[in-house]
Amino acid sequence: MYTISNRLKIGSIILMVVGAIGIAWGFLAAPSTEAEAMEMISAHGNGHGGDHGGSVPHLDKGEGVAHGTVIEKSGSHAEDGVHVDEGHAMLHEEHVLHQLQNKPWAALYVAAFFFFMIALGVLAFYAIQRAAQAGWSPLLFRVMEGITAYLVPGGIAVFVILVLSVLHMNHLFVWMDPEVVAHDALLQGKAGYLDPTFFLIRAAIFLAGWILYREYSRKLSLAQDESDDNSNFKKNFRASAGFLVFYLISESMMSWDWIMSVDPHWFSTLFGWYIFASMFVSGITVIAMITIYLKSKGYLPEVNDSHIHDLAKFMFGISIFWTYLWFSQFMLIWYSNIPEEVTYYVTRIADYNLPFFGMVALNFVFPLLLLMNSDYKRINWFVVMTGVVILVGHYMDIFNAIMPATVGDQWFIGIPEIGAILFFAGAFIFWVFKALASAPLQPKRNPFIEESKHFHY
């Protein structure tokens, strides 16, 4: 029976405390007036987009109509260039204020979603193993169940941020602003789906479905250990097969709602699969890292190098799959060069050049080079090192998906971003290892447990 060590428990609490201080600092340091915002821009060299000076700033599509509205209010005569310039200046200052006020919120949201998606990716992998009746993986089921325990606190954290967005506590989702929608024909056409109340109802349904399956499957898994037949195993198989249908639909819609809708004028038919690949490989990576940690502490003695090898194969394979989706999405949009579509990548290449292309290197080049050799997949420290690179890369993936639409070119990885990562990392570690200590780490009566014990590749 695993017992969480005091060092790990105290370490996770310290991470949460330090992270909470960093998050609080981010909110306290955010400007409250347009004058403060412009002063901060001057101090930081006008962000990453270069010197705006007196020129018109790059605006999000959602704010393009508001731009015209401000000019019209400020100068009703086209020949009055002074009023037009004043309108541009007013818009620029308000736009920058919203971006800088969004910064701590965006940092919080990116970290909250990233750690939540790890648990959600593990849930998908777990359900696939159950539905496929895989023989190699039952020894790892308790690790997967421990990680998916984070769905509850992680899901609550994300949902609270979404509720606060609907209550206009931030400007993460521009389509939630009625004034913007009133001047945007495209958003008006999407108003039936992008409705704040309907948005929260969908989020609640997604979270309820994922958490209910996790709790039900966990209950059946523990009950199977004490059962004298395989009835609980069969129920878990049927529940997992049915859940995967719900998961594929709900995960796609979640990615549209929670990630893609921060850029409400842009869409991609591949986006659901793209986010799935990111969460899937991140989840499998964490399974491997926690399994290796537990083995290093003397637990999971039946887990051998072949199990680690298979997890590393999934890390390698899904990294290639993620790259295929990323390139397919990027190449088709970039080659067609349709303004409404390509602006998504123009913004990221112009203002996020290093994190955008750096993310591709971390998520593709490094896993390809480090895990291509089959022997390296059996070396624990090598798998952990690769796992750290993959997790950093996929954090940057979510960072690149959220930040350009919410903070524009006013980005940098500072105290709010690092604080949010530390806080949710501490919460993740505390909750996951607490769940691992709540039941034996090795299932007893899974029909495939002997096959898993003697698994060799």
Q: How confident is the model at residue 153 (pLDDT cuts 50, 70, 90)?
A: very high
Once rounded to an integer, what is the mean pLDDT over residues 60-84? 38
C-alpha dist (Å) from residue 267 to 299, 343, 350, 451:
46, 11, 20, 45
Q: So what's the pLDDT on residue 72?
A: 34
- For 5, half-sphere exposure in the C-beta direction (CA atoms, 13 angstrom radius) is 7
* Rounded (5°) CA angle 144-145-148: 85
pLDDT at 73 over 60: no
Q: Are 254 and 120 in contact (CB under 8 A)?
A: no
Torsion of CA 394, 397, 403, 409, to 10 degrees: 120
C-alpha dist (Å) from residue 251 to 117, 237, 455:
10, 20, 32
Q: How confident is the model at residue 88 (pLDDT cuts 50, 70, 90)?
A: low
Once rounded to an integer, what is the mean pLDDT over residues 44-64? 42
pLDDT at 240 over 70: yes
What is the per-residue pLDDT across 114-130, written as a single tens digit (0 to 9) for each?
999 999 999 999 999 99
Q: So what's the pLDDT on residue 54?
A: 33
Q: How confident is the model at residue 224 (pLDDT cuts 50, 70, 90)?
A: very high
* Percent of the chain that is helix, strand, coil (3-state, to 5): 75, 0, 25
Q: Going by C-beta distance under 8 Å and a sequence separation of 6 or more, which residues neighbour residue 53? A: none
Once rounded to an integer, what is the mean pLDDT over residues 59-82? 37
Q: Are 139 and 449 in contact (CB under 8 A)?
A: yes
Instruction: List, in sequence order, the alpha helices (H) in 337-439.
Output: 339-351, 353-360, 366-371, 380-407, 415-436
Least confident stretch, 26-35, 131-140, 320-329: 26-35
Q: Are 253 and 202 in contact (CB under 8 A)?
A: yes
Cα–Cα distance for residue pair 287/58, rounded to 1 Å: 42
> Residue 258 burial by CB count (10 A; 0-12/13-18/19+): exposed, middle or buried?
buried
pLDDT at 79 over 80: no
What is the per-residue pLDDT across 439-450, written as a single tens digit (0 to 9) for each?
999 998 899 999
Question: Taking Cα atoms as reference points, which of 128, 457, 431 lies closest to residue 290?
Answer: 431
Give me 403's structure tokens.
């930040």
Q: Going by C-beta distance under 8 Å and a sequence separation of 6 or more, which residues neighbour residue 131? A: 237, 240, 241, 244
Q: How confident is the model at residue 40 (pLDDT cuts 50, 70, 90)?
A: confident
pLDDT at 402 over 90: yes
Cα–Cα distance for residue pair 194/267, rounded to 1 Å: 13
Once rounded to an integer, what is the mean pLDDT over residues 141-168? 97
- For 270, half-sphere exposure in the C-beta direction (CA atoms, 13 angstrom radius) is 16
**Of how many residues is the chain composed?**
457
Q: So what's the pLDDT on residue 36?
A: 75
pLDDT at 340 over 50: yes
Q: Are 261 and 194 in contact (CB under 8 A)?
A: yes
Ramachandran angles phi, psi of 345, nearest 5°: -85, -30
Once rounded to an integer, what is the mean pLDDT over residues 367-396? 93
Q: Are 123 and 213 in contact (CB under 8 A)?
A: yes
Least confident stretch, 139-143, 411-415, 429-433: 411-415
Ramachandran angles phi, psi of 409, nearest 5°: -90, 10
pLDDT at 363 over 90: yes
Whether the pTM exceeds 0.85: the reply is yes
Q: Are 332 and 43 in contact (CB under 8 A)?
A: no
Q: How confident is the model at residue 45 (pLDDT cuts 50, 70, 90)?
A: low
Cα dihedral across residues 233, 235, 238, 242: positive or negative: negative
Once rounded to an integer, what is the mean pLDDT over residues 291-317? 95
Give me 371's structure tokens.
């895990």
Cα–Cα distance for residue pair 361/367, rounded to 1 Å: 9
Q: How confident is the model at residue 241 (pLDDT cuts 50, 70, 90)?
A: very high
pLDDT at 273 over 60: yes
